[in-house]
């Protein structure tokens, strides 16, 4: 799941009208993984104390993984480096999911690390069933949360197709399932672009677009919800991607979830 703006893609197969849930067929040809990874330190896991002090696997979650290109690139980017450039014996395992089964099949077929990277079809908006599947994966490693969750260019599609409540539910669900959250929320201009492209194809508007009350600075809305309602705090911003979107890094804090 990911976003395209007017000037970036002309192929209708990659148009939000043809992929209204962000499940573009060739997404990483026009937004390659390097556009995000160039902002993320290779030492990130060590910087947040996931070093050599434990032998347990470090669990990563990629939300809306599309065909898996970014999942694989993120895995390689974070694997085996600490602040001194040394390698670590801790094993990384990544779970990527997307609602598009065809994209998941492609991800599985091209997966160079099948022992450590798993792809599954899953619709995150089905809260009860998706939570069950994710918790089942975590249970295999004796954990209740992922060490790091990456939710990159997914929030808009949940928001447009399912409304304000679904956006907040998504953020709450992810916050409950991870220790650290890497979030890239599409800005409001992308919503307008996606809706405009849909209309150009002569299709009905997104179900919730005109009824949304959460507007404007979506990243700021997300930050406030995560900090005020989900027991997380913003650690830092890694800056803006080449598509001018904030890449925000959150962690769980000591206060209880829901505490203001």
Of the candidates 62, 86, 87, the one whose C-alpha atom is nearest the C-alpha of residue 73 is 62
In this prediction the pTM is 0.89
Superfamily per CATH, domain 12-252: Vaccinia Virus protein VP39 (3.40.50.150)
Q: Would you state the pLDDT for residue 67?
A: 97
Query: What pLDDT, on a 0 to 100 scale, did the predictor assign at position 207?
Result: 86
Distance CA 5, CA 88 (A): 40
pLDDT given for residue 84 in this prediction: 47
CB count within 10 Å of CB 255 equals 12
Give residue limits of the domains in the chain.
12-252
- pLDDT, residue 4, reads 46
Q: How far apart are CA 108 and CA 94, in angstroms?
A: 13
| Residue in this structure with the two tokens 């949940």, named with its chain if needed | 158
Q: Are the CB atoms for 187 and 218 separated by under 8 Å?
A: yes
Q: Give me the pLDDT at residue 10, please.
A: 40
Q: What is the pLDDT of residue 257?
A: 42
Residues of the chain with pLDDT below 70 are 1-18, 51-53, 80-89, 254-260
**Burial readout 18-38 (b: 16 or more C-beta within 10 A, e: otherwise):** bbbbbbbbebbeebebebbbe
């Amino acid at each position: 799941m990911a976003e395209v703006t007017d000037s970036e893609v002309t192929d209708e197969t990659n148009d939000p009208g043809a992929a209204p849930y962000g499940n573009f067929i060739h997404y990483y040809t026009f937004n390659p993984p390097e556009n995000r990874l160039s902002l993320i330190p290779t030492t990130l896991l060590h910087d947040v104390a996931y070093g050599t002090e434990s032998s347990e696997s470090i669990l990563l979650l990629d939300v809306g993984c599309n065909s898996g290109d970014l999942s694989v690139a993120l895995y390689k980017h974070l694997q085996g480096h600490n602040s001194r450039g040394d390698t670590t014996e801790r094993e990384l395992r990544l779970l990527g999911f997307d609602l598009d089964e065809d994209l998941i099949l492609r991800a599985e077929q091209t997966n160079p690390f099948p022992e450590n990277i798993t792809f599954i079809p899953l619709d995150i908006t089905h809260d009860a069933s998706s939570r069950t599947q994710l918790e089942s994966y975590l249970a295999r490693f004796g954990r209740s949360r992922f060490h790091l969750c990456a939710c990159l260019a997914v929030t808009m599609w949940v928001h447009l197709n399912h409304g304000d409540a679904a956006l907040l539910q998504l953020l709450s669900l992810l916050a409950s399932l991870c220790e650290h959250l890497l979030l890239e929320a599409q800005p409001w201009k992308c919503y307008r672009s996606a809706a405009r492209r849909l209309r150009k194809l002569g299709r009905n508007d997104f179900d919730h677009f005109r009824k949304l009350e959460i507007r404007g600075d979506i990243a700021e809305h997300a930050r406030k919800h995560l900090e005020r309602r989900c027991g997380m705090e913003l650690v830092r911003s890694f800056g803006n991607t080449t598509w001018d979107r904030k890449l925000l890094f959150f962690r769980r804090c000591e206060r209880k979830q829901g505490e203001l």
